[in-house]
Amino acid sequence: MKKIILLLLLLSPALKSLAQANHTSPMVPEETRKNEDGLSLIFFSNDTDFSPLIKKKLQDAFFEVYPREMKRFNVSAPMKVVFQIDTAYKGVAETSNATVRFNPAWFRQHPEDIDVVTHEVMHIVQNYGDNKVPGWLTEGIADYGRYKFGVNNKRSGWKLPDYQQGQKYTDAYQITARFLVWLEKNKRPTIVNELNEAMRSGTYTPALWQKLTGKNVDELWKEYDDKMGA
């Protein structure tokens, strides 16, 4: 026991230094913006060097796209949303409940990629909670939202990819979104809304594809694959 205590005492300064080295500045609430309909966006940041111009673009995009996504997919989505610019986060962006966390380094490297907002707040609108739903479809619908409602996709170079053999509907994101666009145009105009509603209500099952289109998802993908690859 004495050896353990001595070891802890010896390690204590090193642990303290490590903690200090990994210290992240606290989140500071910088601004709350509201629109005339009562929608509010609370903006936090621990990056003192984050571009004011990009900050404004992210906020402006939110107030443009979120109400449109709500109107189409979920009028009961939260009216209060939080954005966090977090230097400790190393992804691009992530959403939990009604909070979106962004990596500021991403926007320094990709200043036109404003529609990260459009994808992430679509997740807030989706609000699938703990329902057991396919992750590939969740992300596909979010990128479908970016495709439909994005404000800066062209300038950022973002688009739905061209069809390529070997793709699968389970590839998620843009590939799944492109499949959904094809289904909407060729099979059922309301299919994305109906899939989204079933996933949020917890009633989604793979049998829903058959119910909505007369074919299961594998059969639909084969038809898509055959026609796009012809």
pLDDT digit string (tens) for 203-213?
999 999 999 99
pTM: 0.87
**pLDDT at position 22:** 40
Exposure string of 172-181, with b = 16+ CB inside 10 Å and e = fewer, is bbbbbbbbbe
As assigned by CATH, the class of the 25-127 domain is mainly alpha
Report the distance separating Cα 225 and Cα 230, nearest Å: 8
pLDDT exceeds cutoff 60 at 7: no
Half-sphere exposure of 168 (CA within 13 A, CB side): 4
pLDDT exceeds cutoff 80 at 23: no
> What residue segments make up the domains of the chain, in order of their start?
25-127, 130-230
pLDDT tens sequence across 159-197:
999 999 999 999 999 999 999 999 999 999 999 999 999
**pLDDT at position 27:** 72
Report the distance separating Cα 214 and Cα 218, nearest Å: 12
Average pLDDT of the chain is 90
pLDDT exceeds cutoff 80 at 16: no
